[in-house]
Amino acid sequence: MTELAYAEPKPKVIAGATGDWELVIGMEVHAQVASKSKLFSGASTEFGAEPNSNVSFVDAAMPGMLPVINEFCIEQAVRTGLGLKAEINLYSAFDRKNYFYPDLPQGYQISQLYHPIVGEGEVLVDMEPGIARKVRVERIHMEQDAGKSVHDMDPNMSFVDLNRTGVALMEIVSRPDIRGPEEAAAYVTKIRQILRYLGTCDGNMQNGNLRADVNVSVCRPGDYEKYQATQDFGHLGTRCEIKNMNSMRFIQQAIEYEARRQIAILEDGGAVHQETRLYDPDKGETRSMRSKEEAHDYRYFPCPDLLPLEIEQDWVDGIKATLPELPDDKKARFVQDYGMTEYDAGVLTADVTDAAFFEAVAKGRDGKQAANWVINELFGRLKKDALSIADSPVSADQLGGILDLMAKGDISGKIAKDLFDIVWTEGGDPAEIVETRGMKQVTDTGAIEAAVDKVIAENPDQVAKAQANPKLAGWFVGQVMKATGGKANPKAVNELVAKKLAE
Ligand code: ADP
Ligand code: MG
pLDDT by residue (tens digit) across 427-473? 999 999 999 988 887 777 788 888 888 989 998 888 888 888 888 88
pLDDT at 1 over 70: no
User: Whole-angstrom Cα distance, residue 496 to residue 489?
Assistant: 11
pLDDT at 293 over 80: no
In the predicted model, what is the mean pLDDT of residues 318-329? 98
The H or E element spanning position 128 is: strand 121-128
Q: Note the pLDDT tens digit of each residue in 177-187.
A: 999 999 999 99
| Alpha carbon of 274 to ligand 1 centroid (Å) | 10
Helix, strand, coil in percent for the chain, rounding step 5? 40, 20, 40
Arithmetic mean of pLDDT over the chain: 94
Q: How confident is the model at residue 495 (pLDDT cuts 50, 70, 90)?
A: confident
Residue 233 near ligand 1, beta carbon < 6 Å: yes
| Alpha carbon of 278 to ligand 1 centroid (Å) | 16
Ligand positioned closest to the Cα atom of 300 = 1
Per-residue pLDDT, 489: 81
Domains and CATH numbers, the chain: 25-314 (no CATH), 324-436 (no CATH), 445-502 (1.10.10.410)
Residue 24 near ligand 1, beta carbon < 6 Å: yes
Taking each helix axis as running N to C, give the angle between helix 313-321 and helix 71-83, from 0 to 180 degrees, rounded to the nearest 10.
Answer: 70
Query: For the whole prediction, is pTM greater than 0.85?
Result: yes
Counting from 1 in the atom list of ligand 1, the atom nearest the Cα of 177 is 16
Counting from 1 in the atom list of ligand 1, the atom nearest the Cα of 238 is 23
User: Whole-angstrom Cα distance, residue 163 to residue 55?
Assistant: 6
In the predicted model, what is the mean pLDDT of residues 60-66? 96
Mutate to test the pocket of ligand 1, among 12, 133, 173 (most ligand atoms within 8 A of CB): 173
Residue 176 near ligand 1, beta carbon < 6 Å: yes
In degrees and rounded to multiples of 5, residue 368 shows phi and psi of: -65, -45
Per-residue pLDDT, 208: 92
Q: What percent of the chain lies above the pLDDT cut of 70?
A: 99
Contact (CB, 8 A) for 286 and 257? yes
User: Whole-angstrom Cα distance, residue 473 to residue 208?
Assistant: 61
Mutate to test the pocket of ligand 1, among 24, 239, 240, 274 (most ligand atoms within 8 A of CB): 239
Per-residue pLDDT, 74: 98
Counting from 1 in the atom list of ligand 1, the atom nearest the Cα of 176 is 16
